[in-house]
Amino acid sequence: MAARRSLIVVSNRGPVTYDRDAAGNRVKRRGGGGLVTALRGLLEHHDVTWIASATTDEDRRVAEEGLGDRDVVLVAHDPAAYDGYYNVIANPLLWFIQHSLWGLATKPDLDRRTHTAWTEGYAAVTRSFAEAVVSQLDNNPDALVFFHDYHLYLAPRMVRDARPEAALAHFVHIPWPPDWSILPPAMRQAIYDGLLANDVVAFHTERWARNFRNGCSDVGTTHVTHHPISIDVAEFDELRESDAVKEREAQLIASRPEKLILRVDRTDPSKNIVRGFRAFRLLLEEHPEWHGRVSMLALLDPSRQAIPEYVEYLATIEQEVAAVNSQLGSDDWLPVDLRVADDFARSVAAYKQFDVLLVNAVYDGMNLVAKEAPLVNDRGGVLVLSENAGAHEELGAWAVTVNPFDVAGQADALHAALTMDEPERRRRAAAIQAHVREHDVVEWIETLLGDFDRASRNVHP
């Protein structure tokens, strides 16, 4: 384990969030999302001040009163600015560009609202983050500032201008596409310029790092690196034995079919949920021998429902499931079991029970479900994995690979996974488990910090 060091972590979501319970008392919850879960490990091993957005009314009150955790700084933004920053620019505009989700014939329209959201939302909120970082650096000038993700691309330049000697690093957790031409030149240059103000820019995979390097060759360079994020293995070893998980697992076992295909995702268009149902429907149409014997369990966490594209996507998911079930289902067999809820214990219970796990993302920075579920599974379950998920760089050799647009190919892959012989399934599952155990989130953090140290020593000897 590396020596303890001072870090200022900056991300939109923080490690804690506040709400009021039914009785009106303040309650503190763990912040959600894969990024926050992975980064929480930093808190144990290093001296961290974490700067994040106040995302609830209660967060805002905590920020105003200055009464939160000593090591968490919640920044309260103007609500209209935050709306432009989160609901217009970060998601969907940047998220859709980076996951290649725009159809382009009619969308996106970068209308006046988008331009206003860019200056008065995205840039303004980012500036509040940069100011919070600068005031932390005034107390702790030697701390490494560790920015995260697409919400904060402009912040490093603002901090660099104010504190030229600061050590700055940025981790981008989502794909970096080869083409940014959807954005007008001033916006895309501001994004590259912001990121290049860091001493180090990091991604999960070689592929995303290469795209970034190619894109910035005529703008400038900085140290670009890649380290695949992973999971807290000990946490999952504990979780799988917890009462909440065992209780849900018992319910699942009582109703499970002979073969269970599982997917666990946020309801995000990048996850390719609709094509997954189409592939499953095609499998059932072409292989009637599976009728009544296999079901797809889709555990979906509702996401970003203030954004129209996400509302439409969830509606399409529900329509597609209704169509498959009414076409092929019977009184005693439901082909697709769709659950739209945030229930992590149920997800972990399903991780234990799947025979086939479908991760067919259009694009994904990493995809932690592809690591969590095989780690917990004890049935020799097969991973069907998109070639465009970051996890494919590490796990592709032991998965059944799919192209996310090839619905017929996905139907074939599901059939191949369902019929794979037991020794082969066990061999692949064991290899994935061994890989995830060996390359856990602690390794990710420590190798990354090692890289940052080397790079900032070169820049600020």
- Residue from 5, 6, 33, 131 that binds ligand F6P (CB under 6 A)? 33
Q: Which residues share a beta bridge with 339?
A: 299
Q: Considering the complex, state which of residue 175 and residue 374 has its C-beta at the smaller distance from ligand F6P.
A: 175
Q: How many residues does the chain have?
A: 461
Nearer to ligand F6P, 35 or 328 (CB): 35
Q: Is 34 in the site for ligand F6P (CB under 6 A)?
A: yes
Q: Is 35 in the site for ligand F6P (CB under 6 A)?
A: yes
By CB under 6 A, is residue 149 in contact with ligand F6P? Answer: yes
Q: Which is nearer to ligand F6P, 173 or 439 (CB)?
A: 173
Question: Rounded CA gap, 17 and 76, in Å?
Answer: 12
Closest to ligand F6P by CB, 33 vs 108, is 33
State which residue, 34 or 292, has the beta carbon closest to ligand F6P.
34
Pattern 174-193, binding to ligand F6P, x per CB under 6 A? x-------------------
Among 328, 334, 245, 270, residue whose Cα is nearest residue 298: 334
Beta strand pairing call for 16-20 and 26-30: antiparallel
Query: Which of 123/229 has CB closer to ligand F6P?
Result: 229
Q: Under the criterion CB under 6 A, does residue 275 sit at the interface with ligand F6P?
A: no
Residues 6 or more apart in contact with residue 115 via CB below 8 angstroms = none
Q: Binding pattern to ligand F6P, positions 81-120, x when CB under 6 A?
A: ----------x-----------------------------
Of the pair 95, 280, the CB lying nearest ligand F6P is at 95
Name the residue nearer to ligand F6P (CB basis): 189 or 305.
Answer: 305
Quick check: 170 binds ligand F6P (CB under 6 A)? no
**Using CB under 6 A, which of 170, 248, 259, 304 touches ligand F6P?**
304
Strand partners, 47: 6
Strands 259-266 and 223-226: unpaired
Task: Write the binding mask 404 to 443 for ligand F6P: x where contact by CB under 6 A, - elsewhere.
Answer: ----------------------------------------
Residue 173 interacts with ligand F6P (CB under 6 A): yes or no: yes
User: Are the beta carbons of 362 and 389 closer than 8 angstroms?
Assistant: no
Give the C-alpha separation, 53 to 62, whole Å. 12
Beta bridge partners of 224: 201
- Residue 342 sits at the vertex; the CA angle it makes with 79 and 445, to the nearest 5 degrees, is 80
Please report how close the Cβ of residue 202 comes to ligand F6P at its closest, in angstroms.
13
What residues form DSSP beta bridges with 119? none
Tell me: does residue 13 bind ligand F6P (CB under 6 A). yes
Kindly determine how many residues on this chain lie close enough to bind ligand F6P according to the rule CB under 6 A: 11
Beta bridge partners of 72: 50
Q: Which letter does DSSP use for residue 330 in this model?
A: B
Query: Rounded to an integer, what distance in angstroms lies between the CA atom of residue 400 and that of residue 389?
Result: 13
Least Å distance, CB 149 to ligand F6P, is 5
Number of H helices, E strands in the chain: 19, 15
Structure tokens at 69: 């955790």
Cβ atoms of 95 and 150 within 8 Å: the answer is yes
- Would you say 239 or 264 has its CB closer to ligand F6P? 264
Query: Given the rule CB under 6 A, which residues bind ligand F6P?
Result: 13, 33-35, 91, 149, 173-174, 303-304, 365
